[in-house]
């Protein structure tokens, strides 16, 4: 359930308290006054309204909230209550958005369209009326379109005098439509925080804006912050500015294992090659290995020379103790720094990090809902992997609170499910022992906390990812086998749909047809509203992908070019095979950067 807006007409309870005080005062005021006050509560409005939804909406979009009407005096829902929802600007008349009646559970899913010209600030007004009484809830809401921004540059490293090419992509957060016509502000700040460049650009029909900034020949060197913004939405990127010489050759380091235990021997190979393909023969090599405790400590220093193939082999024994073990799932790091100097005395450097593990297997356990839900069967996902991140299929023994262990097997992805029913409140300890097919083993104990209370909701999705056109299967489990479970489908902070299902045999089931408007990341909120107004809930995230992937084909007129020669590059964009009219050409906006690859040997380019 989206809890950004959960308003109850609690003023009724306040009035009841005030009337109780008036009764006491009326004792000294006379019989007539006493009779008026004591009979008034019998006629007092005991209807309360609960509105569940969010406080931010996108203009010209469909939205939903849920309205629950109850008789708090009798402790029961009110059926057939009339509900009216309207939107009122700060000045002007309210606009009616929806009217309807509650069902037998006192609930009503309210669906409405947010006007395209709605003011940025307004009041969402919910009015309810029934035989019990009437009620009114007002909630300030914000109505504005929010954006996602992606800022890219052509490379991560620049020299004084070079031009920084910046490009931004702006999409609506709600429906991912391009922010066509939006004003995009570019800003560049030097390492001292001085604003050295600013430009406003109008986004194209594809939501793209671009800007160039040429560095002066004499500038402050260091990290420059590039930023782009639309209104309050901002995206940043850091690039480095300093003089540099493009590397003449590349250095690669490989080791015999992808992770090590303390005290094991490391066997490695250094390979040095010029970018035009020739190996760096008879190059001087230095291999330095270091660890971190209080400070960096060098524990390995090896020197040698590459052979005619540009290769150098080395080996050493790791220390028996690492200060980092016990942290970060029992892992530490060993840093290898390699320097190669060719016969022209030109040096190049590279480094790599070797994972050092306390145990040869890593065990992780996660409850499906984060916290354990009492009274219903919970799934605990158990993942076994090697310290380098590869999945580790293993035999498992899992016990709860010292009980009889269950024997399970993690599959090819190192993942398995363990189920048990926790009790309300307190902690449960899972003891997990894993062993792979080669005999490597590990053990770990994991503590889980269970929620308090006699009622709870556990939402379970059939899958974590769907494609438009499929049906999403959801089940909400609850220990109290009665009542209704409500489901809100929220995207980018806005409720798209709200629905309900009756609890049968301890569960409520939902089948949601995945329509195109559900594309993106969805928050699924399942909840129950108890008679005292308490809300018990659970949340899941699912991703909906649209079958509209593009295929990009790149072709050049030649395989090899001379310096200064003209190159022709052709790009073809089309629908991916299996997507609608697969193979058909599609008009798109392409972002192309042409950079000497040797720059990336000096500094890595981030994705995007």
Residue 323 pLDDT more than 90? no
Higher pLDDT, 11 or 560: 560
The answer to whether residue 269 scores a pLDDT higher than 90 is yes
Q: What is the pLDDT of residues 130-139, one digit of tens each?
A: 999 999 999 9
pLDDT of residue 581: 53
Distance between CA atoms of 247 and 282, rounded to whole angstroms?
Answer: 18
- The CATH number that domain 362-449 falls under is 2.60.40.10
Inform me whether the pLDDT recorded for 91 exceeds 50: yes
So what's the pLDDT on residue 39? 30
Strand spans (E) along 342-436 = 347-357, 362-367, 378-385, 394-400, 406-409, 415-420, 427-436
- Provide the pLDDT confidence category of residue 608 given band limits of 50, 70 and 90: low
Q: Do domains 5-143 and 362-449 have the same CATH topology?
A: yes
CA 516 to chain centre: 21
pLDDT-based confidence at 330, cuts 50/70/90? confident
Split at pLDDT 50, 70, 90, the class of 229 is: very high
Residues with Cβ within 8 Å of residue 36, at least 6 apart in sequence: 26
Round to whole Å and give the CA distance between 20 and 25.
9
Cβ atoms < 10 Å from Cβ of 203: 22
For 361, 389, 395, 434, 590, the CA distances from 437, given in Å and listed in that order, are: 12, 17, 8, 10, 48
Confidence class for position 324, pLDDT limits 50, 70, 90: low
Q: What is the pLDDT of residue 146?
A: 85
- Lowest mean pLDDT segment, chosen from 30-39, 44-53, 381-390: 30-39
Band the pLDDT of 563: cuts 50, 70, 90. Answer: confident
Could you please report the per-residue DSSP string of 531-555? TTS-EEEEEEEEEEE-S--EEEEEE
Domain residues of the chain, as ranges? 5-143, 147-241, 266-271+282-355, 362-449, 458-545
pLDDT of 13: 40
What is the reported pLDDT for 181? 92
For the ranges 194-208, 438-452, 528-542, the lowest mean pLDDT is seen at 528-542
What's the pLDDT at 27? 32
| pLDDT at 453 (0 to 100) | 84
pLDDT of residue 264: 95
Q: What is the 3-state secondary structure (H, E, C) of 282-303?
A: CCEEEEEEEEECCCEEEEEEEE
User: Please, which pLDDT band fits residue 578 given cuts at 50, 70 and 90?
Assistant: low
Average pLDDT, the chain: 86
Res. 524: pLDDT tops 80 = yes
**Per-residue pLDDT at 606:** 65
CATH fold for the domain made of 458-545: Immunoglobulin-like (2.60.40)
pLDDT over 80 at 156, yes or no: yes
- 83 versus 328: the higher-pLDDT residue is 83
pLDDT at 18: 37
pLDDT at 295: 82
Tokens 């354990």, residue located: 372
From 544, 501, 491, 496, select the one nearest 526 (Cα to Cα): 501
* Sheet with strand 195-202: strands edge to edge: 157-158, 233-241, 222-230, 183-189, 195-202
Q: Determine the angle formed by the axes of helices 31-43 and 11-26, rounding to 10 degrees.
A: 160
Average pLDDT over residues 389-407: 95
Q: How far apart are CA 311 and CA 441, in angstroms?
A: 36
CATH topology of domain 5-143: Immunoglobulin-like (2.60.40)
Instruction: Report how far residue 129's alpha carbon sits from residue 132's, in angstroms, rounded to the nearest whole number.
Output: 8
The whole-number average pLDDT for the span 488-501 is 90
Range name among 198-202, 328-332, 373-377, 586-590 with the lowest pLDDT average: 328-332
pTM of structure: 0.70
Domain 147-241: give its CATH code: 2.60.40.1930
- What pLDDT does residue 38 have? 27
pLDDT at res. 458 = 96
Is the model's pLDDT at 372 over the cut of 90?
A: yes
Architecture of domain 266-271+282-355 in this structure: Sandwich (2.60)
Per the CB < 8 A criterion, the answer to whether 460 and 539 are in contact is no
Section 219-228 average pLDDT: 95
Mean pLDDT of 316-335: 78
Residue that wins the pLDDT comparison between 559 and 281: 281
pLDDT at 573: 87
């Amino acid at each position: 359930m989206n809890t950004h807006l959960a308003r109850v007409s609690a003023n009724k309870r306040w009035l009841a308290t005030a009337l109780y005080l008036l009764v006491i005062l009326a004792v000294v005021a006379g019989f007539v006054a006493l009779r008026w006050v004591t009979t008034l509560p019998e006629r007092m409005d005991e209807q309360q309204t609960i509105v569940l939804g969010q406080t931010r909406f996108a203009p010209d979009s469909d939205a939903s909230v849920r309205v629950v009407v109850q008789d708090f005096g009798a402790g029961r829902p009110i059926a057939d209550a009339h509900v009216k929802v309207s939107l009122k600007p700060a000045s002007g008349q309210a606009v009616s958005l929806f009217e309807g009646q509650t069902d037998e559970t006192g609930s009503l899913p309210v669906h409405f369209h947010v006007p395209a010209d709605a003011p940025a600030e307004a009041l969402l007004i919910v009015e309810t009326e029934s035989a019990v009484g009437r009620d009114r809830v007002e909630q300030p809401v914000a109505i504005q379109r929010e954006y996602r921004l992606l800022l890219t540059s052509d490379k991560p490293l620049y020299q004084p005098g070079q031009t920084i090419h910046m490009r931004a992509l702006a999409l609506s957060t709600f429906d991912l439509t391009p922010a066509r016509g939006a004003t995009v502000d570019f800003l560049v700040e030097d390492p001292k925080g001085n604003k050295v460049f600013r430009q406003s650009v109008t986004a194209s029909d594809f939501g793209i804006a671009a800007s160039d900034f040429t560095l002066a020949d004499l500038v402050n060197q260091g990290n420059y912050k590039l930023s782009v913004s639309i209104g309050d939405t901002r995206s940043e990127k850091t690039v480095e500015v300093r003089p540099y010489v493009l590397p003449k050759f590349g250095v690669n380091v490989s080791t015999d294992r992808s992770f090590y235990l303390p005290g094991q021997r490391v066997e490695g190979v250094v390979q040095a090659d010029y970018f035009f393909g020739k190996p760096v023969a008879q190059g001087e090599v230095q291999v330095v290995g270091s660890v971190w405790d209080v400070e960096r400590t060098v524990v390995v220093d090896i020197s040698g020379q590459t052979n005619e193939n540009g290769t150098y082999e080395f080996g050493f024994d790791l220390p028996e103790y690492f200060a980092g073990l016990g942290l970060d799932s029992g892992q530490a790091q060993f840093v290898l720094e390699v320097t190669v100097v060719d016969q022209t005395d030109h040096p190049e450097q590279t480094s790599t990090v070797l994972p050092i593990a306390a145990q040869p297997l890593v065990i992780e356990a996660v409850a499906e809902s984060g916290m354990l839900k009492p009274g219903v069967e919970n799934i605990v996902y158990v993942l076994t992997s090697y310290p380098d991140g590869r999945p580790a299929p293993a035999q498992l023994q899992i016990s709860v609170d010292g009980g009889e262990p269950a024997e399970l097997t993690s599959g090819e992805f190192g993942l398995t499910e363990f189920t048990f029913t926790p009790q309300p409140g307190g902690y449960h300890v899972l003891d997990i022992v894993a062993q792979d097919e080669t005999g490597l083993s590990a053990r770990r104990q994991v503590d889980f906390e269970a929620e308090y209370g006699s009622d709870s909701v556990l939402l379970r999705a059939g899958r974590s990812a769907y494609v438009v056109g499929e049906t999403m299967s959801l089940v909400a489990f609850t220990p109290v086998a009665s009542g209704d479970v409500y489901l809100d489908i929220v995207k980018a902070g806005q409720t798209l749909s709200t629905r309900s299902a009756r609890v049968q045999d301890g569960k409520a089931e939902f089948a949601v047809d995945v329509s195109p408007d559900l594309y993106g990341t969805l928050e699924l909120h399942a909840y129950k509203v108890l008679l005292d107004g308490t809300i018990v809930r659970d949340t899941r995230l699912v991703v909906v992908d649209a079958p509209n992937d593009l295929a990009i084909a790149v072709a050049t007129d030649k395989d090899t070019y001379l310096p200064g020669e003209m190159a022709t590059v052709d790009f073809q964009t089309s629908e991916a095979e299996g997507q609608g009219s697969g193979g058909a050409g599609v008009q798109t906006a392409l972002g192309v950067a042409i950079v000497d690859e040797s720059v990336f040997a000096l500094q890595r380019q981030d994705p995007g």
